[in-house]
Chains A and B, each alone.
Chain A
């Protein structure tokens, strides 16, 4: 135990304040961890698939979020248990890496843990289980490569991409208008994609939302929107062929960083100071005007006087624009961000075909649209919806769809969805298990069973008989040697996912299996949990 004896037989303590800690060891520790992991997976299980339910989360401040995005649920769940936190991490890393399949990966890990529990009870050493899982996951990933299909798409033929995005969106609340949203996402990704290098910079896609209107009013803007209005109410609301000066210095007298004082002790000083101040404002505006700018976008505020001078010289301006937006504007218009008035030159101005102010609803909400930019690579998806929660959820859904489209551009291999890939892998792993000599055989077989749990959950959520449906599909796959059969969640009438056009990305699926296996291995290897007991 935590008590050891030195060479003279005196006890010394390794763990400090031992009685204040609870400690779980060996099999008990593993089982406790497994049950925690399973508990998390159980929460997400009902959110899987097109008929999955949503979760309502109330944050510590009382705000309500309704979502079925696995990563979001886990993020906001206020998890305390360490192992449960690992599962949260798992879903998050899937979110960062792939962006979609965050629920699936947790369900998968939960199933693996459940299977491991049975094996532990039969006395198989956790390390052997972990090794078996590792081998099985390799087989599954290879098998996925095998059954994956490449498809072709180009800037003109976006249909396959749209179909895949639709699969992602169909499990969200926005599935009512998944087709337009999928099209918007694909178009957005394609317009910022670098098809040569097969790379997509998602930072160039801004997702903005405004409460009100219908979900159908969601639009893709080839340009940028800024949630600001002109600094002076009487400035023009629309500017054609704008030349934009992007400034990060305020229209105010300079504030040197070093501490200083200007002492006024005579009348002359007072007057010169005043003149200088006036000249200063004048110079600033004049500089912008000199380089030919027709719109000033500034990160900081304006002094009243500067504001009027700008207005007076017909130079529309926008103030208090956030840093991120400023960068996007710079990218989109091909301008440079200028930190000092002295450095303003005509080359550094950004160009946009049309800048306009648009107002919404009965309140005074106004937004600035910057369109037809010199570099049209930056786009904005502008979401409208009935309420704030709807907009937030749509944002998350669009994010998923964007990630899927990006993954396809990176790697155009797909597998079929609806659980068909999992079933096919399960069959392959099961078959391979029998050939493997050694205790790992059991673990490999268990892995195959765990793979079945995803289609099983899909069937369950869709109101089908899970076991019956799964076994029927499985036998059909083996009989016809066709890996495209999956669970018919939407009650369309066919099991062939190719006909239903349900696709998922290959890398997404592979990543799911690899990540889930990794986490499960990590959890299995823990045999001692020391935690401070309740205080």
Chain B
């Protein structure tokens, strides 16, 4: 009696041991892939897209690497997912979270081979994660009260984050940039107010923070290039033909003269609109949509600076920083709020002309202009800076700080190890394994730097046996050093998110005992 197939033809089913092996192999493969990018001496990856142009990206940002991979293994997809979430939530630690989850699974694989039930491993991991979090909580430093110290904390965090990126050469410079930018936000996490403009040319050192707002647009012909005490009207309106919006309207005429009449009426309409806009008493007009030659000319005649085709983000930011509102109708000039700024001028960066608004009302916004040798360099610099900005803005809200350089992992590992010794039953194996996974992170950091990881980690472990030790791996000198002295810090929020998400993901993969893959959807052949 043959058992018939239950599933569709192409669908496959993997059970028990095989399913587990498949997910372990997938997850560990992903971990090994991103592992080498961890830490200050981590290497970069080149990603070539399959799309048109075969674009190349050079990066060591975990989330960016994983996002661009096409993966079939379901367990690997879970890891990619947590890395993305880490990116969205705290912005940094995207590699660490994957590496930790992978190490947890690697340890779990050994335990499963030793005939320990996955559920037991999960409950052990849970206890261990809780214990690790508490251990870390006890050692956090919170300098919320002391503004001076807090600022130096931020500096340290920024430097630590940037040191593993392409910007590490100029990390001092960029850390200062990032901290300044975030401090201007005054506690809000709205990173939109920080604009990053990339201009190839010059060197990374030439990058600078501008307190005003820079719009990557040109000023219309024959219009003033410099305006002091500008009154700005930010608008989103059609300045080309101003279509009739009533549905189904169309022009139908029977003679040439009528065409001319209607054209005249249209022109008149535009002239009226421009008059209305000028009647607001403005000397700068920024529009999201195109401005045709005719109205542009009218603006030039009136001595008004008109900027066309500012993109959506551009005008929203401009409206935000100048305190004006985005207008689409111009009938009641008295109630439209205009934006103000001290000075508008055209500036040159490299070869490009940009419009610079300085002395804006809202002090929160600022622009960071990145300079660099190539597009790849700039893209990577932007990603790194974005990471740093995210971490900093999160730290401003949650001011707790821990040391870096493998210090938190060692502290957690020590506490978890102690817990393992006190726990009776099979769970203690899982708890022990958790501690081993934590130690794997400093090991990888050391390995990536080409150091003798076994020796260093053993030293580190011995150091940590003393109470209140600040030892971590000093990659630069290749030895164990005092992290507090070296000024290597990380945000507690990031570390906590890494710990919890990694445990959650490992748990999720461990719980699986069967993988059912549906038949891939047939793509219809398009002729």
Interface residues of A (CB under 8 A from B): 28, 31-32, 35-36, 39-40, 43, 46, 51, 53-62, 64, 66, 68, 73, 76-81, 84, 173, 176, 211-215, 232-234, 252-256, 259-267, 270-271, 273-274, 276-278, 280-281, 303-305, 307-309, 311-312, 359, 361-365, 385-390, 463
Contact = CB atoms under 8 A, between A and B. Distances in A.
B262 A79 contact: no
Nearest to A252: B245
Given A55-B512, A233-B319, A308-B329, A387 B74 contact: no
Given A259-B248, A264-B250, 13 more contacts: A32-B1, A39-B6, A51-B119, A78-B519, A81-B4, A173-B507, A274-B244, A278-B329, A304-B236, A362-B91, A362-B390, A385-B504, A386-B82
B189 interface: yes
Given A46-B514, A234-B326, A277-B245, A261 B250 contact: yes
Interface stretch (B7-15, B172-180, B206-214): B7-15
B96 to A, nearest CB: 15
Nearest to A303: B245
Interface string B11-27: 10100000100010000
26 contacts: A46-B513, A53-B514, A54-B512, A56-B516, A66-B511, A77-B7, A79-B6, A80-B5, A173-B507, A176-B126, A214-B500, A261-B249, A262-B249, A263-B252, A264-B244, A264-B250, A265-B252, A270-B244, A276-B246, A303-B245, A307-B328, A361-B89, A362-B87, A362-B91, A362-B393, A390-B504
Nearest to B258: A265
A390 B84 CA distance: 14
Contacts of A359: 189-190
A66 B72 contact: no
A439 B505 CA distance: 54
Contacts of A280: 246
A308 B519 CA distance: 50
B51 interface: no
Contacts of A79: 6-8
B157 interface: no
Contact of A76 (B9, B77, B247, B518): B518
Contacts of A259: 248
B484 interface: no
The 4 closest A-B pairs by CB, nearest first: A308-B328, A53-B513, A60-B521, A54-B511
B81 A361 contact: no
Interface string B111-133: 00000011110000010000000
Contacts of B514: 43, 46, 53, 55-56
B269 A78 contact: no
A54 B512 CA distance: 4
A21 B461 CA distance: 72
Interface string B60-99: 0000000000001011011001101101111100000000
Contacts of A362: 87-91, 189, 191, 390, 393-394
A17 B317 CA distance: 72
B5 A270 contact: no
Chain A interface SS verdict (over half)? mixed
A19 B81 CA distance: 51
Q: Chain A CB within 10 Å — which of B78, B84, B189, B249 has the most?
A: B249
Contacts of B5: 80-81
B517 interface: yes
A56 B245 contact: no
Q: Kindly name the residue among A256, A304, A311 whose own CB sees the greatest number of chain B CB atoms within 10 A.
A: A304
Given A55-B514, A78-B11, A233-B326, A312 B335 contact: yes
A28 to B, nearest CB: 8
Contacts of A264: 244, 249-252, 262
A108 to B, nearest CB: 18
Contact of B329 (A61, A68, A77, A309): A309
A278 to B, nearest CB: 8
B85 A53 contact: no
- Among B82, B325, B328, B517, the most chain A Cβ lie within 10 Å of the Cβ of B328
Contacts of B258: 265-266
A266 B81 contact: no
B301 to A, nearest CB: 24
Contacts of B6: 36, 39-40, 79-81, 84
Contacts of A62: 72, 520
Given A211-B88, A233-B320, A273-B244, A386 B505 contact: yes
A173 B72 contact: no
B246 A273 contact: yes
Contact of B78 (A57, A309, A389): A389
A58 B4 contact: no
B244 A386 contact: no
B228 interface: no
Given A55-B512, A80-B7, A305 B78 contact: no
B423 to A, nearest CB: 14
B409 to A, nearest CB: 20
A497 to B, nearest CB: 20
B500 A35 contact: no
Contacts of A77: 7, 11, 516, 518
Given A234-B325, A274-B269, A80 B9 contact: yes
Interface in B395-446: none
A176 B258 CA distance: 77
A261 B248 contact: yes
A273 B88 contact: no
B261 interface: yes
A86 to B, nearest CB: 12
B192 interface: yes
A427 B245 CA distance: 78
A56 B521 contact: no
Nearest to A31: B1
